[in-house]
Amino acid sequence: MKIVAIAGGNNSNINKNGFPITYEHEKIDREIISLTKKENPNILFISHASDVESQNSNYNKLVNTYNKMFSCPIKLLSIEMLTNKLLVNSLLEWADIIYVGGGNTKTMIELWKFNNFDKILKSHTQDKVLCGISAGANCWFKYSCSDYLQMEFNNPQLPFAPLEGLGLIELAFNPHANYSGRLEGLKNMLKNIPINGLSLSNNMAIEFINDKYKLIEGISSNREEKFALLSYWLDGKFYTKKIPSEGAIKQLKLRKK
C-alpha cells in the first residue's frame, strides 16, 4: 500500500483561470513521483468531487505541473467515462499514480457507489501510488471530517459531519485543519465514533507505505502554520497531540493518556 494524503494548498503553479500562483506542493509531488520508482510515471487524474467545469480546470492545473514540469504522461478519468467499465479499467491499469482532486467528498463517494467505481478502484490499488488533495485525500480513509453539509446548503454555520470513505486507512481524516472550526468539528464528531482522528493543516501531507507513515511538508505562500495532530477520546477526555514526523501506522491508532 502506498498512499499520500494532502490536506490542501496550491497543488499547481497556476490557478483555475490559468494565472501564475505560488506552487506550494513541489516537494510533495516529487515524493509522489519517487514512490513509483519510475522517472516519468503515468498519472491518472480523477476529479469526481467537482462539477464538470471544475474537473477540466483542475486537470489543466495538474497538466501544468506533472506534465510540463516533470514530463509525466497524464490522463483524465472524467465523470462521463464512469459508465464505460472497459475504459475505466484500462485507464486504471495504465496508471502508476492515481490522483484524486478536491471538492464535495459526499457527492464523489455517492457517484462512485452508484457506478460501482468504489469497488473497481479498490481492485486496482496494488502496485499503484494512491494520492489526493482534500476530498481526494478523505476518500482513502475509514472516515473523514467533512464539510459537505456546509457546501450543500451554502451555510458555514452547519456542523462538520462524519463521512465514510474507502476504508484503506483506519483513521478519521481532517483536512484544512488550520481553518476555523475544523479542530472543534473533529472533536465533536469523534464523540460518537471510536476511532482516532488525524488533522493536517494546508500544505501538509502524510505518506503511508505498508505499516509506516511519514509527514511531507510543502511551503505556505501566506506563511500559515503547518501542523499534524492526532486526536481521540479516552475515558471521557479529549486528547490532541502533535505526531512525530515518521513512525509506525499502528502508533496512530493507539490511545494513550
Element (H, E) at 98: strand 97-100
pTM attached to this predicted model: 0.96
Q: Would you tell me how many other CB atoms lie within 10 Å of the CB of residue 205?
A: 28
pLDDT score, position 30: 97
Cβ atoms of residues 130 and 98 within 8 Å: yes
Phi-psi category of residue 246: left, alpha or beta, with phi > 0 → left and psi -120 to 50 → alpha: beta
Residue 132 main-chain phi, psi, to 5 deg: 170, 165
Position 121: which residue type?
L
Domain boundaries in the chain?
A: 2-143+201-224+242-253
Give the residue among 58, 64, 89 at the shortest CA–CA distance from 76.
58
Q: Which fold has domain 2-143+201-224+242-253?
A: Rossmann fold (3.40.50)
Task: Read off the C-alpha cell for 25.
Answer: 506542493
Alpha carbon distance 95, 97 (integer Å): 5
User: Which residues lie below 8 Å from residue 162, measured CB to CB, with a gap of 6+?
Assistant: 143, 144, 145, 146, 172, 189, 192, 193
Alpha carbon distance 103, 119 (integer Å): 21
Task: Read off the C-alpha cell for 174.
Answer: 481532517
Q: What is the DSSP letter of 81?
A: G
Alpha carbon distance 222, 243 (integer Å): 23
Cβ atoms of residues 168 and 3 within 8 Å: yes
Task: Read off the C-alpha cell for 159.
Answer: 456542523
pLDDT score, position 151: 87
Residue 13 main-chain phi, psi, to 5 deg: -100, 10
Position 87: which residue type?
L
Query: From first to last of its 257 residues, what are the pLDDT tens digits of the chain?
Result: 899 999 999 999 999 888 999 999 999 999 999 999 999 999 999 999 998 888 999 999 999 999 999 999 999 999 999 999 999 999 999 999 999 999 999 999 999 999 999 999 999 999 999 999 999 999 999 999 999 999 889 998 899 999 999 999 999 999 999 999 999 999 999 999 999 999 999 999 999 999 999 999 999 988 888 999 999 999 999 999 999 999 999 999 999 88
Q: Would you tell me how many other CB atoms lie within 10 Å of the CB of residue 59?
A: 20
